[in-house]
Structure 1
Amino acid sequence: MPALRLDARAGRLYFAMQSLAGIGWWIGVFLSDSIRTLTLGELSPTVVAWFDIPLFVIGSALVACGVRRLVWVVASWTVLVSGGMALYATFTGLAGWGALLMIAAAVGSVAAGLLVWLGRLPTEWILFGPFAIRLAPVTSTSAHVARTTGQVIAFWGLFLAVFPVIIAFVEHRWNLHLPLPDPTRWAGAALLLAASMLGIWSAAAMSTRGEGTPLPSATARRLVIAGPYRFVRNPMALAGIAQGVAVGLIIGSWLVVVYALCGSLVWNWIVRPLEEADLGRRFGSAYLEYARAVRCWLPRLTPFLPDGEHPVTQRRSSGTAS
């Protein structure tokens, strides 16, 4: 079965599905007290429906039928409602499931709106400013190691501590918490240890062998096929996703686990194609041979043994060696 092509047709298909989902949800709201309470709390369904049915349900259906100019009406309304529902759920502790569903709908509406409007997802927008791909400066190995160490501390602190704490707070405040069995905490601790060791091993290989760091803003100048990179192409990403899942298991938050898995989708579908395109431009056949031999996510059982590492010889570009 061919993969779905992300173009304007895919965007319209999303809006068609969103319209049908909206119809189903509103039927549930008026027929079920449980659905109404979980998703709207004490808000009046009649008042909300007066605005939401034309702007969300009917608007999505019209976009699906080709009324392109309504894309941003629907997307703007969905973003506005998701923000309002998030505030309502945070202040009252009610309608948490409604807030979560509307946040998901807002993300989907914006992405589908870009597909309808531009015919594609402008993934290059994600790599800008401090996140833009740039070659690391020529400096000593110790300087690359120090810079990589700082990156690891900052990113692990942000993505594995600050964000999970906020998400766990929201999960409890919005009454979304679902208790996990106690053994999952021990499994999470073991996974966190293994994933962290993989992340450190990957960072060490990148900074000592690649003349750069794992981040695109100071990307490696050499193609690194050493350490864990002999087994899997993106060990840093694999480690980070596993760490996020592990933290969710340790603190008993299913929403943190979902956050980590969603991050893997963003990385795989948005960041990875940009990095791999850059690596192909800079390292040519050497990278293509490596990519054919070593998978992105599933590690090899035996290490890949190239002839050697390959310095950048092409025009100035940037990307990470992963």
Structure 2
Amino acid sequence: MSLRSPTARLAGRTYFALQAVAGAAWWVSVFTVPFVREATLGGLDPVVVAVVDIPLFVVSSALAAVLPGRASRVAAGAATAWTLVVTALLALYATLTTLAGVGVILMIAASVASVGAWLLLVFGRIPTSLLLVGPFAFRPARSRATPLAHVIATATQIVVFWGLFLVVFPLVIRFLEERWRLVLPLPHGVVITGVAVVVAASALGLWSAAAMTVKGDGTPLPSAMPNRLVVAGPYRFVRNPMALAGIAQGVGVGLLMSSWMVVVYALAGSLVWNYAIRPHEESDLARAFGADYLSYARDVRCWIPRLTPVGSRR
């Protein structure tokens, strides 16, 4: 992320100010509107919850917005930690009782935003490089590995990552969506559309993986990246066909399962990839392949495919 202090810290303070106002307004609604109380707290006693939540969520957020320096960071840390605790406990409560599902969704959003604002206050930026660890760290593949070894590694990656991100996680999300009573009625044609999207996106993903493996002397995984710049197959039309395929697969799975939460999960993943991962990946590619990559990036867009393929480069 490009924000730097003090602009970033101002953004963090602004968020906590808005969170304090929103939290106060929500508590007013809890005590005055029965529907809001039921949807967000279920059968929990609002008085008991308010005794703890108002100081730790509303007041701490307000203090994070107005206090100077270290005091602001401490208040922001308290508000963020409490938000994460409440989110986890409310999610457990909703899963066990099927109540307060709307409250869980709101708290998940608040948790993500609070963590981001806290990072802005503490570091003056969001340190997205912390995401690039383990199998997501950028390292070239071993150049001495055989083409067969790269094919096997790529096939293994596809099975593992598709299994996790397109099967296991969506099934868990769909289960929670049902337990939290958040299922929305969707037209029957949505399922057929989902099947078509998954098939088309999977074909694009496999085509991209094959081009990366055969032409790049590596794999799609960041920890075993190609040793050569790949401008072949779908990479002649769009710069990130695998990311495009993965996002479309996730959306397709959501449609197939008639789950709006799975669709949101896929779209949220696309935002993380675009704003947190892609800048690091493109910087790494520019360092590795220099002018060739910069020229390719000028000719081929990140998300919108070209109508005609760009010429191959070596």
Q: TM-score, normalised by structure 2?
A: 0.95
Work out whether residues 204 and 241 of structure 2, in 8 Å CA contact, stay in contact via their aligned partners in 1.
Answer: yes
Distance 2:294 2:14 in 1: 35
Instruction: Give the 3 Å change call, closer, same or farther, for CA 217–4 of structure 1 in structure 2.
Output: closer
1:126 corresponds to: 131
For 1:213, which of 219, 224, 227 is the aligned residue? Answer: 219
Distance 2:162 2:133 in 1: 21
1:24 corresponds to: 25
Structure 2: where are the runs of 5+ without partners? none
Report the residue type matching 1:252 in the other structure.
S
Report the residue type matching 1:83 in the other structure.
A
1:165 equivalent to 2:171? Answer yes
Distance 1:201 1:100 in 2: 36
Report the residue type matching 2:63 in the other structure.
L
Distance 1:268 1:65 in 2: 32
Cα distance per residue 1:226-273 (max 9 Å; x no partner): 110111110000000000000000111000000000000010011111
2:61 corresponds to: 60
Cα distance per residue 1:191-232 (max 9 Å; x no partner): 111101100000000000001111101111111111101111
Distance 1:74 1:199 in 2: 41
Range 67-76 or range 110-119, more displaced = 67-76
1:48 corresponds to: 49
Q: Mapping of 1:137-286 within 5 angstroms?
A: 137-138=142-143, 139-286=145-292
How far apart are residue 64 of structure 1 and its match? 1.5
How far apart are residue 62 of structure 1 and its match? 1.4
Cα distance per residue 1:170-207 (max 9 Å; x no partner): 00001111121101111111111110110000000000
RMSD of aligned Cα (Å): 1.3
Distance 2:195 2:24 in 1: 43
Report the residue type matching 2:176 in the other structure.
V
Instruction: Name the SS for the 1:221 alignment partner.
Output: coil
Q: TM-score, normalised by structure 1?
A: 0.92
Report the residue type matching 1:34 in the other structure.
F
Instruction: Name the SS for the 1:7 alignment partner.
Output: helix
Distance 1:172 1:154 in 2: 26
Distance 2:56 2:50 in 1: 10
Report the residue type matching 2:84 in the other structure.
V
How far apart are residue 292 of structure 1 and its match? 1.2
Distance 1:188 1:17 in 2: 37
Instruction: Name the SS for the 2:311 alignment partner.
Output: coil
How far apart are residue 130 of structure 1 and its match? 3.1
Give the share of equivalent positions with the same residue, in percent: 58
For 2:114, which of 92, 100, 109 is the aligned residue? Answer: 109
How far apart are residue 4 of structure 1 and its match? 7.2
Instruction: Name the SS for the 1:47 alignment partner.
Output: helix
Instruction: Name the SS for the 1:177 alignment partner.
Output: coil
Cα distance per residue 1:13-61 (max 9 Å; x no partner): 2112211221221121111111100100011111111111111112111
Work out whether residues 3 and 125 of structure 2, in 8 Å CA contact, stay in contact via their aligned partners in 1.
Answer: no
Report the residue type matching 1:258 in the other structure.
V
Cα distance per residue 1:149-189 (max 9 Å; x no partner): 11011111110000000000000001111121101111111
Distance 1:130 1:215 in 2: 7
Q: Mapping of 1:78-117 within 5 angstroms?
A: 78-117=83-122
Range 72-81 or range 139-148, more displaced = 139-148
Work out whether residues 135 and 221 of structure 2, in 8 Å CA contact, stay in contact via their aligned partners in 1.
Answer: no
How far apart are residue 9 of structure 1 and its match? 1.4
Instruction: Name the SS for the 1:224 alignment partner.
Output: coil
Distance 1:144 1:305 in 2: 25
How far apart are residue 68 of structure 1 and its match? 2.5
Distance 1:276 1:9 in 2: 28
Distance 1:293 1:71 in 2: 44
Distance 2:13 2:34 in 1: 32
1:12 equivalent to 2:17? Answer no
Distance 2:290 2:22 in 1: 46
Name the structure where helix makes up a greater proportion of residues. Answer: 2
Work out whether residues 31 and 37 of structure 2, in 8 Å CA contact, stay in contact via their aligned partners in 1.
Answer: yes
Distance 1:65 1:276 in 2: 38
Distance 1:260 1:209 in 2: 29
Between the two proteins, the alignment pairs up a number of residues equal to 306
